[in-house]
Amino acid sequence: MRAFLVACLAVVVIGAGGYFFLASMQEPSGVAYATNGARITTNWSWRSVGSRAGECDARKSWQWVFVDFGKPEGESAICSISQ
């Protein structure tokens, strides 16, 4: 029984080590297999641009032109609710 419990603990510890190892090695497929221009950030939405203009920072013209999906620093999370 003790061997089993120690084994379970080892599984958790080594599994957690696996998490940190993979986190340092891998990146999301959307980042790994796309260029900056092709990425769509899920934090961005048209709602944050239009209907919540009072609460959220309005996007600059160049952001509209170049379809910039970045999120202004310090912007409320509610501005980034996906459509």
Name the token pair of 38.
Answer: 């092709």
Looking at residue 37, the DSSP 8-state letter turns out to be: G
**Amino acid residing at 81:** I
Residues 52 to 81: which contact another protein by CB under 8 A?
none
Which of 27, 73 has the CB closer to another protein? 27
Using the contact rule CB under 8 A, the part of the chain among 6-14, 51-59, 63-71, 75-83 near another protein is 6-14
Name the token pair of 9.
Answer: 């603990």
Cβ atoms of 44 and 80 closer than 8 Å: yes
Q: Provide the binding-site residues for another protein, judged by CB under 8 A.
A: 1-4, 6-8, 10-11, 14-19, 21-22, 25-26, 33-35, 38
